[in-house]
Structure 1
């Protein structure tokens, strides 16, 4: 079934909709798949899976809400599937282990072969619950939940005082980090795995000579520092080739770190999206992980450096989306024909800003009052955690009576030019009033994705001629074909 046929079916008032659900679960220590549907359905001998009965248990929920955060935090995505348990037959399911298991949902017609059903959700079960005697609910999250685990828990080991310390991981270029003392007897310091370059080691801010072993991510001091602070600047992780940019680092963190069983594979990535994002955002970045920072948090920190966010597509592919107006790409036309009558309304108004302050090139080891023979200007830099760049519009400040001293936005950016460009971009986006309009869409609007460019037109709210917008909210109700859409304009 092609996209045109699928959309035609979605638009049909005579369509009989049903869902097929395949949920992983651990029962008494064994992993298995439970096959669930909203109507009776059995696959044929030549289908995949073959000769399989989907139990008609799904009665409610069957919805998922996802949104783009406009504050820099990860957007909340969640939903649920309600299963009929009026006769108590599913009571035992509450004792099974559902948490962090995969779940996939397809939509189609009871008369269709299994291959024609369309995947509408590929995510994770957060937990199982029973809101009452009559039902069991599967609580859903998107697949980013799989990355809610520490980047690394690799400890140094051995018998030194740091044996239980986690080996730090530098991503991209990191300035003045504190490496781990890995061998006091040989004055060896280092990181987890190979690095591209350790290009300056300092004792109390003063450069010193060392013996480098960058393939091991280690270096040895040639003289005893007598308990002073050792720091280094490092170009980090090079497991798949050194690439200090957002998209390659996101890809590396998602597929090579965290728990092996939960890591993403290439099949979990929207590779075309990541390639396009990398081409559009070549800014060098740096992120130093010396604790139990989890993968999702690190990925969001990197993406947020350019006002972007890591999101999952409706078919479970990791994407990077920057909120911009106009958004890149060919916009989807949305007019009254794609909306339920009289459903369009303003959902939220975003605050106007008159200035944006970007923090960049983080000093990962702040050292105040250095007394070594380094220039005073250098000592001042080592005492400062962030460099900052501010872009302001005095006319906007005066018109809206705003404070021109903005809250600092911390990023992983490295250069002043990139920080200033990002501050100017964010100011241009937010120095005019912005509104999120919400509406109940016709079934074909279920095909939209977060971050997708649209052209929004309506007879109300000054939208008569249409304006560019970007999708920031989607609540899909799979069984009814209803969808609530939020568009930022």
Structure 2
């Protein structure tokens, strides 16, 4: 096999993409190919290795690690020194495999699609650092900031005063409670809940002043109409299209419950993340549909005014239902939910194809508790983005239910394994944050997680020839059947890590069960 590489850095002097092509052997496309009569210069000395994990090495939850590796090009003659002056960060690359130099370009296999970080020049080589497309999600989720130009009640729109200049505007996805909206026009007492359109301020506890319920009036389509609205003390009006709320009297501490997403079905973890990463392109609609079906529970997240990356926000939402976000080798964003492995695997891995015969290592997970059976699982849900002390609410006309809600940031859904309390007295008591909105959904997820973590969980690492697992990807189930650890009859295991080394055609595979 020969390897062919296309890279798309930008020439800073022109601002244009420059597509460069290299191969592990010289290769020219045919006149009938697209692109036609195109030369791949023989430069690849090591097509590299490349790590990808469902979450991170030996982990089954938390933020997804950005996969990475490097590709080595020959540069003994210094002919590639010009690469130093090109911009590589965030630019695309495509690595292909071809049977040999005489094969048709159309017969190529796509081995990897991703982005580049930078180039280095170790001795007589060029090293191209590559990353998967998760790296593109490390951009901030909100690029808009306040201008700080609202200096009167008629000028400057709703951009806040100079103290808000360059502060990021908040975003809301799904449903959230006790949001502290941002004062964006102090002259007209206008606040911004979120810079993206809202579907509605919901239920009777929509807005409160230091815990005191305010009365909703009307929603207005424009900022001008909102400013012109007639209000009395204790009332508020909205411009949901702009995520704005106006009160008559400046509140002491204003909190708002709000929703984004037209219907309940639009506020599942899958649908929220689908909207979050839509601009990045290259998503699997089938994956998002399947994840929504697996758990359509209502979720919500408010970003506030601090900087948050797309990846961090998406992972926070997905973690609510045990979900993950990865990128496949073709550069497509994939989502799913961590489940216990069941059924026959896609391939059987035993002494006939595990390199070294029965060379397999077992290690504890890198999760909290290190894979020791858990005594309990607690899912935190219904986050209050603003909390009060009991002293704050002492003289407030509020219900007991609201008082109990307002003094706690989180509500808790806890399930306990009575057997493990006795059998594993030092077992972990796991706590999971979530963006879930309802207790029933949180309790269901806690019960599901306890079924996973109440038993010992193992991670096994082994090496196989890459052509033994040509279609195996993260999240797939394989049958593990080495004559070790009582697995000779075959047990299902889920793939949580893949590290192919292309120069040797060997893949290290990490599985969990």
TM-score (norm 1): 0.89
1:255-266 alignment runs, 5 A limit: 255=278, 263-265=279-281
Aligned 8 A contact 2:53 2:474 in 1: yes
Say which of 374, 378, 384 aligns to 2:398.
374
Cα distance between partner residues in 1 of 2:348 and 2:312: 34
Say which of 302, 308, 312 aligns to 2:323.
308
SS in structure 2 of the partner of residue 427 of structure 1: helix
Q: Any idea what the Cα deviations from partners look like across 1:181-234, whole Å, max 9, x if unmatched?
A: 22222222222131111121111112112112222222221x213x40111000
1:224 aligns with 2:224: no
Aligned 8 A contact 2:325 2:333 in 1: yes
SS in structure 2 of the partner of residue 86 of structure 1: coil
Cα distance between partner residues in 1 of 2:280 and 2:381: 29
SS in structure 2 of the partner of residue 62 of structure 1: coil
- In structure 2, the partner of 1:194 is 197
Worse-matched range after superposition: 172-181 or 474-483: 474-483
Aligned 8 A contact 1:121 1:314 in 2: yes
Cα distance between partner residues in 2 of 1:26 and 1:165: 30
Cα distance between partner residues in 2 of 1:460 and 1:108: 37
Aligned 8 A contact 2:358 2:484 in 1: no
Q: Any idea what the Cα deviations from partners look like across 1:157-190, whole Å, max 9, x if unmatched?
A: 3324245432211100001101122222222222
SS in structure 2 of the partner of residue 301 of structure 1: helix
Number of residue equivalences: 458
1:167 aligns with 2:169: yes
- In structure 2, the partner of 1:9 is none
- In structure 2, the partner of 1:19 is 3
- In structure 1, the partner of 2:360 is 345
1:38-53 alignment runs, 5 A limit: 38-53=24-39
Say which of 265, 284, 291 aligns to 1:277.
291
For structure 1, list consecutive stretches of 5 or more residues without a partner in the other structure: 1-16, 256-262
- In structure 1, the partner of 2:224 is none
- In structure 2, the partner of 1:359 is 380
TM-score (norm 2): 0.85
- In structure 2, the partner of 1:180 is 182
Say which of 120, 127, 130 aligns to 1:129.
120
SS in structure 1 of the partner of residue 321 of structure 2: coil
Higher strand share: 1
Cα distance between partner residues in 1 of 2:502 and 2:166: 48
Cα distance between partner residues in 2 of 1:381 and 1:330: 47
- In structure 2, the partner of 1:215 is 241
Pair 344,272 (structure 1): closer, same or farther in 2 beyond 3 Å: farther
SS in structure 1 of the partner of residue 423 of structure 2: helix
1:322 aligns with 2:343: no
Pair 77,343 (structure 1): closer, same or farther in 2 beyond 3 Å: farther
Aligned 8 A contact 1:196 1:242 in 2: no
- In structure 2, the partner of 1:114 is 105
Cα distance between partner residues in 1 of 2:427 and 2:75: 57
1:382-421 alignment runs, 5 A limit: 382-403=406-427, 406-421=429-444
Q: Any idea what the Cα deviations from partners look like across 1:236-282, whole Å, max 9, x if unmatched?
A: 255x9971111111111112xxxxxxx312xx111111111111110
Question: How far is the alpha carbon of 1:441 from its aligned partner?
Answer: 1.5
Cα distance between partner residues in 2 of 1:463 and 1:99: 45
Say which of 27, 33, 45 aligns to 2:19.
33
- In structure 2, the partner of 1:6 is none
Aligned 8 A contact 2:76 2:125 in 1: yes
SS in structure 1 of the partner of residue 201 of structure 2: strand
Question: How far is the alpha carbon of 1:284 from its aligned partner?
Answer: 0.8
Aligned 8 A contact 2:420 2:427 in 1: no
Cα distance between partner residues in 1 of 2:62 and 2:481: 28
Pair 241,264 (structure 1): closer, same or farther in 2 beyond 3 Å: farther
Pair 360,128 (structure 1): closer, same or farther in 2 beyond 3 Å: same
Aligned 8 A contact 1:171 1:244 in 2: yes
Q: Any idea what the Cα deviations from partners look like across 1:421-463, whole Å, max 9, x if unmatched?
A: 2112111112222221222123131421101122222222211
